[in-house]
Amino acid sequence: MKINRRLFMGGAAAGAAATTLAAPMVHAAGHGKPKVVVVGGGAGGATAARYIAKDSKGEIEVTLVEPSRSYYTCFFSNLYMAGFRELGSIAHSYGKLASDYGINVVHDWAIGIDREARTVSLAGGATLNYDRLVLSPGIDFVDGAVDGWDVTHQNAMPHAYKAGSQSELLKAQVEAMPEGGTFAMVAPPNPFRCPPGPYERISMIAHILKEKNPTAKIIIADPKEKFSKMGLFQDGWSRHYDGMIDWIGGDFGGGNVSVNPHDMTVTIDGEVTKVDVCNVIPAMKAGKICDMAGITEGNWAPVNPHTMQSRVDENIHVLGDASSQGDMPKSGFAANSQAKVAAMAVRSALTGSKLFPAKFTNTCWSLINDNDGVKVGASYEATDEKIAKVDGFISQVGEDAELRQATYEESVGWYAGITSDMFG
Amino acid sequence: MNWIRNAAIGLTVAICASTPSFSNEIGNAADGEKLWGECKSCHAIGKDAKNRVGPHLNGIFGRRAGSEEGFNYSKGLARMGKDGLIWEFDLLDRYIENPKAFASDTRMSYRGLKDEQKRADLLAFLRRYSDNPGDIPEAAPTVAGTDHDVDPSILAIQGDPEYGEYLSSECTSCHQLTGDNDGIPGIIGWPAEDFVIAMHAYKDKYRPHPVMQMMAGRLSNDEIAALAAYFEAVEP
């Protein structure tokens, strides 16, 4: 059904038709076009803003709140560290979302949400009204998650788990390692952003070291006994970087870790090691704004799998890493997929457009070495309880070099695809 | 779903309320936990579970048959594992329905569970103790997928171009609407018939790409037709 807004606003829509037409617009009564505010301009937020603006064809006013003027994607930031990408190639501006899609892009921090009044307050002082709010703030770190580390130490021991200057810093530190030096990673506990991410990073750092500093060592202290694509990574590490990487899993004390950023030491299960570079990836939680909005349970914001609406507040949709939804990993691909379901649900609620059954997909590609790409993916459906995995696939150990190269090239094509899906 | 209670959203409510849950839950884990009572005289599950008369069942979904270290399996089960049998829902379901029929020399002295619903409930309970796909994306599925070719609620929306456009948003995470052809092929402006043939070749697994086999596998004939019509009309 096409809604003729002028007719409706002009009050001419009296009689039987009016009830059907007017009902979806009820939220907008009194203040013109329905308003959507999207907080966070990553794979979830940028996609949601673009799809709502594009598909509502001007019927919905969309504001995107994102502090960064230039957005660095976390996906492919590991490839930047190994020199497979230029930093500029993972940076994106919001210009097209403003010029081609009419989205009001506001570079500011959201610092408060009044769910009663349906307003978002910004650090710069402005207040935005919304009919629907989309929160896609990504992750923040759990305070005190790694003994000895907090955000004031992120220069000595970078996390590089929000891309940009942190990625540059970690790359520079790795390149400056002394001959035969030691790189340590403190890996995060589940659940965390990008399950294969830390292990792709290890692969990329081993790639640099093998070229520039082949006697260097890599230690990973990991609280987990198992990680995504573990067999594929371990096979790749032994083929390409034999003897360089020492992974200490949870069953060998890998979760019993403290760091000392002043002395540059890492203590794993009581054993102190002097290191040259230490990449600390702490435990994660939903971006702080979710907590401020009062929609979290534990560390994450639970959602209705059919629409990505918060379980706590139906006027708020939560996307991507910040949401707790069931079986989907926290990935850029997943956030992009969830954003399209949410965009459809938002339009349906505000303009009466059709609501189709939610479908979700995810694929995570990882690069192990030059042209040695692997992937894992799945499709998902919404049940009342959660987003549930229904089918999937994973690359196999022993695939030939041609297939691995094609998988890598596919990931490069995907990067171009998803970033144009996000930013226009 | 208390958001549905908001009666003010009249039209939307009608549509949302008719949106069913398409996928099939494995079963009811709470009911399955009661059935577990029969299993636990031989098997352990949960924190610190060890092999007993039977192997522990943590991580059974996705485990290779006969592969739990330190457990003495029958030759038949061990060989099935070497031949590549990985425990997933369908296989576990057959096994516990009639263990001896599945592996004639199995040491599991259990008569089998004939009731399909009870097996589903028991497996739903066991599934809780295997890897979570949210943490390990390759972990076994947690529900059985919808057969989109027979799902009447999806067939009812056939041929809707708006639906084709919505479905296409799954494609455009990878395939660019500009038709760019680098690493991932362009799919716009294809003759609809070619598109349909290609998608069915993936669906029937004649074409080899795993992502596309998965994507096409969950699309009904009508959904493929809607996508074909949509993409045929897209110009760069």
Closest-CA residue in chain A for B184? A413
Domain contains A380 = no
Q: Are A175 and A261 found together in one domain?
A: yes
Task: Report, as an integer, the average pLDDT of A166-178.
Answer: 98
- Indicate which of B166, B182, B212, B227 best probes the interface with A, i.e. most A CBs within 10 Å of its own CB: B166
Looking at residue B146, its pLDDT comes to 66
Last residue of a domain, one of A313, A338, A355: A355
Looking at residue A31, its pLDDT comes to 60
Residues of A in contact with B19 (CB under 8 A): 306, 355, 357
Provide the shortest C-alpha distance from residue B86 to chain A (in Å): 14
Test B142 with A412 for CB contact under 8 angstroms.
no
Residues of A in contact with B169 (CB under 8 A): 51, 340
Looking at residue B200, its pLDDT comes to 87
Test A390 with B23 for CB contact under 8 angstroms.
yes
A138 in Cβ contact with A159 (< 8 Å)? no
Closest-CA residue in chain B for A412? B183
CA distance A361 to B163: 17
Closest-CA residue in chain A for B13? A349
Q: Are A216 and A272 found together in one domain?
A: yes
B154 pLDDT above the threshold of 50: no
Closest-CA residue in chain A for B16? A355
The residues pairing with A303 across neighbouring beta strands, listed in sequence order, are A310
A74 pLDDT above the threshold of 80: yes
The residues pairing with A198 across neighbouring beta strands, listed in sequence order, are none
Residues of A in contact with B136 (CB under 8 A): 195, 226-228
End-to-end CA, chain A: 27
Cβ neighbours, 10 Å, residue A417: 23
Q: Are A319 and A255 found together in one domain?
A: no
Looking at residue B161, its pLDDT comes to 72
pLDDT bucket at B151, cuts 50 / 70 / 90: low
pLDDT tens readout for residues A320-363: 999 999 999 999 999 999 999 999 999 999 999 988 889 999 99
Please list the residue range(s) of chain B that carry CATH number 1.10.760.10.
24-144, 152-233
- Indicate which of B3, B151, B227 best probes the interface with A, i.e. most A CBs within 10 Å of its own CB: B3
Last residue of a domain, one of A335, A355, A375: A355
A113 pLDDT above the threshold of 50: yes
Test B8 with A26 for CB contact under 8 angstroms.
yes
pLDDT tens readout for residues A7-55: 333 333 333 333 334 344 444 445 689 999 999 999 999 999 999 999 9
Test B3 with A417 for CB contact under 8 angstroms.
no
CA distance A413 to B173: 10
Provide the shortest C-alpha distance from residue A178 to chain B (in Å): 35
SS3 labels along B128-174: CCCCCCCCCCCCCCCEECCCCCCCHHHHCCCCCHHHHHHHHHHHCCC
pLDDT tens readout for residues B78-101: 999 998 899 988 899 999 999 998
Question: Which residue in the set A353, A363, A378 is minimally distant from B133, CB to CB?
Answer: A378
Domain contains A3 = no
For residue B52, the number of C-alpha atoms closer than 13 Å in the C-beta half-sphere is 12
Test B25 with A388 for CB contact under 8 angstroms.
yes
Provide the shortest C-alpha distance from residue B91 to chain A (in Å): 15
Provide the shortest C-alpha distance from residue A310 to chain B (in Å): 10
SS3 labels along chain A: CCCCHHHHHCCCCCCHHHHHHHHHHHHHCCCCCCEEEEECCCCCHHHHHHHHHHHHCCCCEEEEECCCCEEECCCCHHHHHCCCCCHHHHEEECHHHHHCCCCEEECCCEEEEECCCCEEEECCCCEEECCEEEECCCEEECCCCCECCCHHHCCCCCCCCCCCHHHHHHHHHHHCCCCCCEEEEECCCCCCECCCHHHHHHHHHHHHHHHHCCCCEEEEECCCCCCCCHHHHHHHHHHHCCCCEEEECHHHCCCCEEEECCCCEEEECCEEEECCEEEECCCEEECHHHHHCCCCECCEEEEECCCCEECCCCCEEECHHHEECECCCECHHHHHHHHHHHHHHHHHHHHCCCCCCCEEEEEEEEEEECCEEEEEEEEEEECCCCEEEEEEEECCCCCCHHHHHHHHHHHHHHHHHHHHHHHC
Say how far residue A225 (Cα) sits from the centre of its chain: 24
Looking at residue A11, its pLDDT comes to 33
Number of separate domains in chain A: 2
Domain contains A39 = yes
Looking at residue A2, its pLDDT comes to 37
CA distance B220 to A387: 20
Looking at residue B205, its pLDDT comes to 86
* CATH fold of B152-233: Cytochrome Bc1 Complex; Chain D, domain 2 (1.10.760)
B108 pLDDT above the threshold of 70: yes
- Indicate which of A304, A327, A333 best probes the interface with B, i.e. most B CBs within 10 Å of its own CB: A327
Q: Are A270 and A339 found together in one domain?
A: no
Residues of B in contact with A226 (CB under 8 A): 131, 136
Q: Are A54 and A158 found together in one domain?
A: no
CA distance B29 to B125: 4
Residues of B in contact with A382 (CB under 8 A): 21-23
Task: Report, as an integer, the average pLDDT of A145-164.
Answer: 97
Comparing A301-305, B15-19, B201-205, the range with the smallest average pLDDT is: B15-19
Test A195 with B137 for CB contact under 8 angstroms.
yes
Task: Report, as an integer, the average pLDDT of A78-100.
Answer: 97
Q: Are A301 and A182 found together in one domain?
A: no
Q: Enter the tokens of residue A96.
A: 């097209």
Q: Are A171 and A257 found together in one domain?
A: yes
Looking at residue A23, its pLDDT comes to 42
Q: Are A114 and A163 found together in one domain?
A: no
Q: Are A251 and A263 found together in one domain?
A: yes
Last residue of a domain, one of A226, A258, A282: A282
Count of A–B CB contacts within 8 Å?
A: 202
Residues of A in contact with B131 (CB under 8 A): 226
Test B137 with A24 for CB contact under 8 angstroms.
no
pLDDT tens readout for residues A272-315: 999 999 999 999 999 999 999 999 999 999 999 999 999 999 99
A79 pLDDT above the threshold of 70: yes
What rounded mean pLDDT belongs to chain A?
A: 93
Structural domain boundaries enclosing A322: 33-140+285-355
Looking at residue B15, its pLDDT comes to 36
Q: Class of B24-144 per CATH?
A: mainly alpha
pLDDT tens readout for residues B32-81: 999 999 999 999 999 999 999 999 999 999 999 999 999 999 999 999 99
Looking at residue A405, its pLDDT comes to 97
Comparing A208-217, A322-331, A355-364, A370-379, the range with the smallest average pLDDT is: A355-364
CA distance B11 to B4: 11
Domain contains A229 = yes
Cβ neighbours, 10 Å, residue A366: 29
CA distance A197 to A187: 10
Comparing A103-112, A183-192, A395-404, B22-31, the range with the smallest average pLDDT is: B22-31
What ipTM goes with this model? Answer: 0.78
Looking at residue A131, its pLDDT comes to 98
Q: Are A309 and A275 found together in one domain?
A: no
CA distance B97 to B94: 5
Q: Are A290 and A268 found together in one domain?
A: no
Test B142 with A389 for CB contact under 8 angstroms.
yes
Domain contains A370 = no
CA distance A178 to A274: 13
Domain contains A115 = yes
A204 in Cβ contact with A78 (< 8 Å)? yes
A310 in Cβ contact with A332 (< 8 Å)? no
Domain contains A415 = no
Rounded alpha-carbon distances, angstroms, from residue B211 to A113, A285, A363, B61, B207? 40, 30, 8, 22, 11
Provide the shortest C-alpha distance from residue A182 to chain B (in Å): 28
pLDDT bucket at B27, cuts 50 / 70 / 90: confident
Domain contains A408 = no
Judge residue A6's burial from the number of C-beta atoms within 10 Å of its C-beta, 0-12 exposed, 13-18 middle, 19 or more buried: exposed
pLDDT tens readout for residues B132-143: 999 999 999 888
Name the amino acid, one letter, at A216.
Answer: A
Question: Which residue in the set A226, A326, A356 is minimally distant from B136, CB to CB?
Answer: A226
The CATH number given to whatever domain includes residue A275 is 3.50.50.60
Looking at residue B4, its pLDDT comes to 31
